[in-house]
Structure 1
């Protein structure tokens, strides 16, 4: 079962999200939080696999709460919000969120996103990915040069494949995949897979 903590300051919205997830046989909602502080506290106490995080809440917001939860080195954060502002998106991803979905998404997209994030994959709503691509089309500094293999692996990460799946697809060892990704992180000056993908989109390396 995928243990999920739902974070949203609107009780009705929160109840609706819980109701949707409760219909999934492989998902268990283990807690609900109405603020960033409560989210951090419950994430520490309940050790969920995925924290479904709203952004704008009283007290510390979703971005700061995301950063604190990611530093627990256990739960992964999937932002689920109505906001599609560029700065909010990048701030959440830079804080360590593993994905970003909007509340207008179909129910099946939410469930699929939870499963993907729990499996270590990156999830971006199509509208969010489109914004990052548009942002990438603005004037920018020269992008760092990736090797063909690094680009190939990063593209597969963007497609949602895990390291083992990439290794199997390319007929290489998982350790080799990790080594290439370390080089990609260094070139893009990022610290994780999600930010590598969004940074590559910003720079026009991926589209």
Structure 2
């Protein structure tokens, strides 16, 4: 694929494994239509470079400091488009990252061509998820009857804030209730829905149109 008329695609990397970080940076530096941006081991280290908004960032999920969907949110807030490339590619991780704003998701068994293809799609304004992982997104759109009806208005509000990535303290402040009350609502939601972990609750909110 030739470089865009507006110039090469600026791409950064956030990856804490030195060997994989080097390998990805090497693949990017050899592509004619890509300009390699900051290469960092954490979100904080990447942010210190003050990269102008608009970069495509290849992001691992399991990092030091800010991690998982929160890492995605932080990079998106900087104005960048996120492509997650992670060894953790279960349904919860994929849905959590996409709901946090990632434009694409690949597992680490993807080769260099897969990563370049995904970057080019994202830079062009599209999204890209590998065919294997795309089935998770299709499953998440299938409605499950009865969940909304068993949750109270306040429980639905708590669930939507969880899906937005808010912490318990932030939810408490937004709803003018105590953190203890927030956790009580979360316990009720878990008991009613059978979803225990936060990524599972985020997925539930997506399924029910509450995210």
Instruction: Please say whether Structure 1 and Structure 2 have the same fold, judged by a TM-score greater than 0.5.
Output: yes
Q: CA deviation at 1:136?
A: 5.1
Q: CA deviation at 1:37?
A: 1.9
Distance, in Å, in 1 between the alignment partners of 2:86 and 2:13 is 12
In the other structure, the counterpart of 1:184 is: none
Per-residue deviation, residues 97-125 of structure 1 (Å, max 9, x unmatched):
11111111122111011111111101001
What is the aligned residue count?
Answer: 144
Contact 2:94/2:136 (<8 A) preserved: no
Contact 1:93/1:99 (<8 A) preserved: yes
Per-residue deviation, residues 112-153 of structure 1 (Å, max 9, x unmatched):
11111111101001111123334556x7138xxxxxxxxxxx
TM-score by length of 1: 0.62
Distance, in Å, in 2 between the alignment partners of 1:49 and 1:57 is 20
Alignment of structure 1 residues 34-183 onto 2, 5 Å: 34-42=41-49, 44-47=50-53, 49-72=55-78, 74-135=79-140, 140-141=144-145
What is the CA RMSD across the aligned residues, in angstroms? 2.4
In the other structure, the counterpart of 1:167 is: none
Distance, in Å, in 1 between the alignment partners of 2:43 and 2:107 is 18
Distance, in Å, in 2 between the alignment partners of 1:52 and 1:102 is 12
TM-score by length of 2: 0.61
Instruction: Name structure 1 gaps, 5 residues minimum.
Output: 143-197
In the other structure, the counterpart of 1:194 is: none
Distance, in Å, in 2 between the alignment partners of 1:101 and 1:68 is 19
